[in-house]
Amino acid sequence: MAIKLKKLFRHMITKALVLLMMVGGVFIGAWGFYNIAIMEDAYQSENFYETQQFEEDLARLAHNIVEKELVLTDEASILALEIPEEEKSEKVRRLRIIEHNLKQAKDLDYMLVSKMTKRVISNISKSQQTSILDRSIYVRWDYASVETSFNPNFGQNYFSNGINEDIQRLLGLSQHELIVAIKPELDPASLYFGEPYNTFTNFKQHQNEYFIGIIIGLFLILFGTVYLTVFTGNENGRKQFYDYIPFEIQVILAFVSTIPVVAIGEQMHTINQFMDLIPILVALVTSLLFWFFCYLSTVRRIKRGAFFKELLISQVLIKIIEAMTYDRKQGRLKPWLLLLLVAYGGMNMFFILLFLVGFNIGITFLLSLPMFIAFNIIVLLFVNERIRTLNKMMHATKERVNGHINYPLETKSLTREFREWGEELNQQQIGMEKALEEAMKGERMKTELITNVTHDLKNPLTSIINYVDLLKNEEIDSDDAKNYLQILEEKSLRLKSLIEQLVEASKASSGNVEIDLESLDAYVLLQQVIGEYEEAFADKGLIMVMDEPMPPFMIEGDGRLLHRVMDNLMANVAKYALENTRVYISFIEKEKNESHVAIEIKNISKEALNMAPELLTERFIRGDRSRHTEGNGLGLSIAKSLSEAMGASLDIGIDGDLFKATLTFPCIITNAELDQ
C-alpha cells in the first residue's frame, strides 16, 4: 500500500511539474513573440534608415517645417489675419505643437530654398548649408519629385505617401524646395531618431534570442501536451477530481474563463513594456488551464471508453426515453410512447426534406414552411401543458416535503395522464396527516403523563423535605440519626432536581417554552456561568482556557434559556472531565458557508467514551455507564432541545477520550454589513 501511494504521489508531482513547465513555456513564448511583434518593422528591415518608423517620422517633420515656414510663419502673423478667433486659436495651437516637435528633433537639419528669390530658411549655418547634400542620409523635395540618398522606395507606404503629396503641393504653391538631412552622429537622447536607432540596434542584437524563446516555449507546450496525453488515464483508470464535473459544465467553465481575458484586453490600449502584459497573460494562462483540464478529462473519458456515456446530454436523453418508454409499475415497455417520439422526429424530417426539395418548385416550398411551423407549435403547446401540470405536482410535493403537508393539489386542473398520479399524492397526504396527528397525540399524552406523574411526586416529596427540615431543628443525640437525616436530605433534594429536570426536558422536547430572542454577548454570558462553577473546577484541578474574542462575540438567543444551556454544558464538564486537565473554549467566526458562528468546548473525559456521539444527547444516557458519579443523563438532552428551540444547534463529537460540544448560532447581520 505504501509503495502504491509513493508511486501515485510521484506520478502527481511529475504531472504538476510538466504542467508548470507548460505554463513557463507560455510565458517564454509570449515574451519572444511580444518582442518580435512590437519590432516587426525592425525585423523586416536590415537598416534603421529603411524602417517605416524612420520614414514616417522624417516625412512628418518635413511637413512640419513646410507648414511652419510657408503657412503659419509666426504667432504675430496669425493674430494679424482677419479670420474668426477660434480659427486663430487653432492655428496658434498647431504652430506651438510644430515648434515643440522640431525642438525635439535634435538630429535633423533642413534648408527651405525659394526658387524665385533664392532666400534660404534653415536651422544650420551657411557653411554647413553648402555641404548638406554631401551627407549620407538626406531627402530633397520639390513640387514634382522626391530625391533620397539612402532608400529608393522612400515615400511609397500609405502614410508617408500622403504626407509627401501634401509637402509637394505646398512647395509648388510657393515655388520652394526642401532639403532635410540627418546629422552624422545621432544624439542618443533624441526622441525622434537617436532613441529609436538605439532600440533598433538592441533588437537586432537580441533578435535570435527572441526566436529561440518562441521555439523553446512552443516545444515546452507541445512536449507537455504530448506527455500528459499519453500518460493520463487508461482503460481501467479511476476518475480524477475534474472528471466528476460533467463535460458540458467543463466547457461552460472554460468559456467563462475567457471572459476576463477579453475584458482585460479591451482595457489595454497601449503596451509600453512586457510587464504590461502580465495581467492578461495570467488571465490567459488561467483560461488555457481550464481548457487543458477539459482536454485531459476528454482524453481520460475516451481511454475509458465512456465519453458519450458520461455526457450529461446523453444521460438526460436516456432518462427521458426510459421515462417515456418504460412502465416501472407494470415492468414493461410502453411502445406507443416510443413510436410517438419516433413519429415526431419523422414528421420534422419529412417537413425539412419537403422544404429542401421544394425550394425551386414554388407552392410546395410555400406550404412546407408554414406546415412545419404549425406542427411544431401544436407539439410545443401539447408538451407545455404537460410540463405545466408536472410543475404543479412537483411544487405541491416540495411544499409538503418542507412541512406544509396540508398544501392542496387540485387534480381537476391536471392533464389526464397525470391525474391518477395526483390523486395518489393526495391519498398519501391524507395518510401523512393521520400519522402526524397520531404522533402529536402520542407526544401530548407523553407530556401530560410526565406532568401528572411529576405533579403527584412533588407533593409527597415536598412534605418529606419539610419534615427533614423540622427534624434537623430537633435536638437529636444520636450521631447515626444525624447522618441518616443528612443522607435523607441529600437524596430528597436530588430527587426534587431530577423531577424538575424531567419536567424541563419534557417542555423543551415538545417546544412548549417561551422564547424571547435578543442580541447577547456570548463571552460575557459564558464568563458568568464559569464563575458559578469556579469552586467545582478548582476542586478537580480543571484549568479553563478561553480567549476574549475581538470584536465582541454577539449571538441571537434567549438569555434565560441560553444560560441554562451553558450551565448544563459546564455541569457536564465539572462531572465528567479528567482531573488536572485543561478545558478549551473557542469562539469560531463564520461556520457552515460563513452563515453561522459557533462556541466550541473541549475537554478530556475521565471515562472511556465507547458510544456514538449522538447517543449522549438522548435522555437518560450517560458517559459514565457504571453510574458512579452524580447525574441523570438529562443535561445534554435539555441543552440540545433548548438550543434547537432558539434556532441554534448543539453537536457532540468524540475523538478517543476527547469530548467536544459545539454550539452553533446563525450570524447576526450588523448595520455595517447591511450597508455593504
- Average pLDDT of span 233-256: 76
- Give 394's pLDDT tier (boundaries 50, 70, 90): confident
* pLDDT for res 447: 64
The predicted-structure confidence for 31-40, as pLDDT tens digits, reads as follows 887 777 777 7
- Give 171's pLDDT tier (boundaries 50, 70, 90): confident
- Average pLDDT of span 198-216: 84
Distance (Å, whole) CA 70 – CA 122: 13
Which letter does DSSP use for residue 362 in this model?
A: S
Q: For 157-170, give the DSSP string.
A: SHHHHHHHHHHHHH
- Average pLDDT of span 356-384: 66
Task: Output the CATH code of domain 437-512.
Answer: 1.10.287
Q: Mean pLDDT lowest for which of 474-478, 555-559, 664-668?
A: 474-478
* pLDDT for res 658: 87
Q: Where is 393: in which H helix or E strand?
A: helix 363-401
Distance (Å, whole) CA 610 – CA 657: 9
Q: For 206-268, give the DSSP string.
A: HHHHHHHHHHHHHHHHHHHHHHHHHHS--TTPPPPGGGGS-HHHHHHHHHHHHHHHHHHHHH-
Mind spelling out the 3-state secondary structure of 446-457?
HHHHHHHHHHHH
Q: For 394-447, give the DSSP string.
A: HHHHHHHHTT-TT----GGGS-HHHHHHHHHHHHHHHHHHHHHHHHHHHHHHHH
**Would you kindly state where each structural domain of the chain is located, as residue ranges?**
43-192, 437-512, 516-675
Residue pair 597/614 in contact by the 8 Å Cβ criterion: no
For the cut 80, the answer to whether the pLDDT of residue 223 exceeds it is: yes
3-state secondary structure of 175: coil
- Give 582's pLDDT tier (boundaries 50, 70, 90): very high
- 3-state helix, strand, coil split of the chain in percent (to 5) is 65, 10, 25
User: CA triplet 605, 610, 611: central angle to 5 degrees?
Assistant: 105
Number of neighbours of residue 673 by Cβ within 10 angstroms: 9
* pLDDT for res 327: 54
For the cut 60, the answer to whether the pLDDT of residue 627 exceeds it is: no
Mean pLDDT of the chain: 76
* pLDDT for res 331: 45
- Average pLDDT of span 392-409: 76
For the cut 50, the answer to whether the pLDDT of residue 616 exceeds it is: yes
Architecture (CATH level 2) of domain 516-675: 2-Layer Sandwich (3.30)
- Average pLDDT of span 608-633: 58
For the cut 60, the answer to whether the pLDDT of residue 364 exceeds it is: no
* pLDDT for res 235: 57
Half-sphere exposure of 407 (CA within 13 A, CB side): 16
* pLDDT for res 584: 92
Specify the higher pLDDT residue, 84 or 402: 84
Residue pair 254/291 in contact by the 8 Å Cβ criterion: yes
Distance (Å, whole) CA 183 – CA 106: 9
For the cut 60, the answer to whether the pLDDT of residue 598 exceeds it is: yes
User: How many residues can be counted in the chain?
Assistant: 676
* pLDDT for res 300: 82
- Average pLDDT of span 403-425: 73
Using a pLDDT cut of 70, give the percent of the chain over it. 76
3-state secondary structure of 148: strand
Q: How far is CA 411 from CA 10, 79, 383, in A?
A: 62, 91, 18
The predicted-structure confidence for 122-146, as pLDDT tens digits, reads as follows 888 888 888 888 888 888 888 888 8
The grid cell for 581 is 486537565
- Give 620's pLDDT tier (boundaries 50, 70, 90): very low
**Domain 437-512 and domain 516-675 have a common topology:** no
The predicted-structure confidence for 306-357, as pLDDT tens digits, reads as follows 777 777 777 776 676 556 555 555 544 455 555 566 667 777 777 677 666 6
The predicted-structure confidence for 282-309, as pLDDT tens digits, reads as follows 888 888 888 888 888 888 888 877 777 7
Directed axis angle between helix 85-104 and helix 52-66, to 10°?
130
Using a pLDDT cut of 90, give the percent of the chain over it. 1
For the cut 70, the answer to whether the pLDDT of residue 211 exceeds it is: yes
* pLDDT for res 272: 61
Beta-bridge partner residues of 601: 585, 661
* pLDDT for res 333: 45
- Average pLDDT of span 92-112: 88
Put simply, whether the predicted model's pTM sits higher than 0.85 gets the answer: no
The predicted-structure confidence for 434-477, as pLDDT tens digits, reads as follows 777 777 776 667 666 666 666 666 667 677 777 677 777 777 77
